[in-house]
């Protein structure tokens, strides 16, 4: 009886670790920025949305698992990551690598055979960009890691758009740019709070290289670039008044939050608020796009 309980607990623990490797909380936002553009681009069937959602989860989960494999040495030095399956010793590195590659392979096949080849190619490009450009090349070399490497997180809107239309056009590029310019102020707010962790791991995040004040200024400038980019699709007629008002209000709150970080002493509480709000900001912005298009139809 005791053996059965231990076996059950071991199975539960393994299942939990397999899910943990995919970083589901991060993927939930990626899925919003994948699925909302599908409803902006057209009227997808529920079956297509389900296929894209599953494929997106598998591809992002695979990328996150490979990321944990590559970062297992520095994850062991950081308080917020040392309990992950690899640094804690609960899983074998080769098994994690194989798991990540298997998820990415399954995702590619799912996209190619049930959606279209273009969406499969874009999703796979996002995987390679995250794994090789960000994790393997930039993360440990430059404080610009999240700026350039952050492009990996901007692929989901392209995947969702291509899934419905079979192409990538100007509106899809706008959506890509929105996520691209959103990433630095979002991630640097967290980097400010976790800079000592990154310092122990030897990762040259912006606050460690540029200093806190310069990082805050960079957050401000990227936010100033982001806000007009979010309004460009409305200016060119791609979206209507619902989106324009939503983007303006959401952007004003984000900018105000960044300004508070710059002015607050101490700034930790303000930075945490910006980080949390930036997650909500991006999700609501993409939902506003879908709602705007639905009303227009």
Instruction: State pLDDT tens for residues 238-247.
Output: 899 999 999 9
Which span out of 145-149, 151-155, 225-229 was modeled with the highest average pLDDT? 225-229
Q: Give the pLDDT of residue 8.
A: 43
Are 156 and 55 in contact, with CB atoms under 8 Å apart? no
Distance separating alpha carbons of residues 156 and 113, to the nearest angstrom: 18
Q: pLDDT digits over 179-233, tens only?
A: 999 999 999 999 999 999 999 989 999 999 999 999 999 999 999 999 999 999 9
Average the pLDDT over 244-269 and give the result: 97
Q: Give the pLDDT of residue 76.
A: 87
Phi first, then psi: what are they for 86, rounded to 5°?
-80, -55
Residue 173 pLDDT more than 60? yes
pTM equals 0.92
Phi first, then psi: what are they for 264, rounded to 5°?
-70, 145
Distance separating alpha carbons of residues 153 and 28, to the nearest angstrom: 12
Q: Name all contacts of 84-89 with Cβ < 8 Å and 24+ positions apart.
A: 84/20, 84/21, 85/17, 85/20, 85/21
Tokens of 109: 């096949």
Are 117 and 159 in contact, with CB atoms under 8 Å apart? no
Q: pLDDT digits over 31-48, tens only?
A: 999 999 999 999 999 999
Q: Give the pLDDT of residue 3.
A: 46
SS (H, E, C) 56-74: HHHHHHHHHHHHHHHCHHH
| C-alpha dist (Å) from residue 96 to 31, 79, 275 | 23, 21, 29
Are 285 and 246 in contact, with CB atoms under 8 Å apart? yes
Going along the chain from its start, the domains and CATH numbers come out as: 1-168 (1.10.357.140), 170-297 (1.20.120)
Q: Give the pLDDT of residue 222.
A: 98
């Amino acid at each position: 009886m005791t053996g059965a309980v231990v076996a059950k607990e071991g199975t539960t623990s393994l299942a939990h670790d397999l899910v943990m490797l995919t970083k589901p909380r991060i993927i939930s936002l990626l899925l919003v920025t994948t699925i909302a553009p599908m409803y902006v681009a057209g009227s997808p069937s529920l079956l297509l949305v389900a296929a894209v959602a599953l494929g997106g989860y598998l591809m992002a989960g695979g990328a996150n698992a490979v990321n944990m494999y590559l970062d297992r040495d520095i994850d062991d030095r950081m308080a917020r990551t040392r309990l992950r399956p690899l640094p804690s010793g609960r899983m074998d590195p080769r098994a994690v690598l194989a798991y990540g590659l298997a998820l990415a392979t399954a995702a590619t096949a799912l996209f190619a055979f049930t959606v279209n080849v273009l969406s499969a190619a874009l999703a796979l490009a996002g995987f390679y960009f995250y794994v090789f450009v960000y994790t393997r090349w930039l993360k440990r070399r430059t404080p610009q890691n999240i700026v350039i490497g952050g492009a990996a997180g901007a692929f989901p809107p392209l995947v969702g758009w291509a899934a419905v239309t079979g192409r990538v056009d100007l509106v899809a590029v706008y959506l890509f740019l929105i996520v691209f310019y959103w990433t630095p102020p979002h991630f640097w707010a967290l980097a400010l709070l976790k800079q000592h962790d990154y310092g122990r791991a030897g990762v040259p995040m912006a606050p460690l290289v540029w200093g806190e004040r310069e990082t805050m200024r960079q957050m401000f400038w990227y936010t100033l670039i982001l806000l007009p980019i979010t309004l460009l699709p409305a200016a060119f007629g791609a979206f209507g008044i619902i989106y324009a008002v939503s983007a303006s209000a959401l952007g004003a709150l984000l900018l105000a939050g960044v300004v508070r970080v710059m002015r607050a002493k101490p700034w930790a509480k303000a930075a945490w608020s910006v980080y949390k709000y930036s997650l909500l900001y991006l999700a609501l912005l993409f939902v506003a796009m879908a709602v705007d298009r639905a009303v227009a139809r």
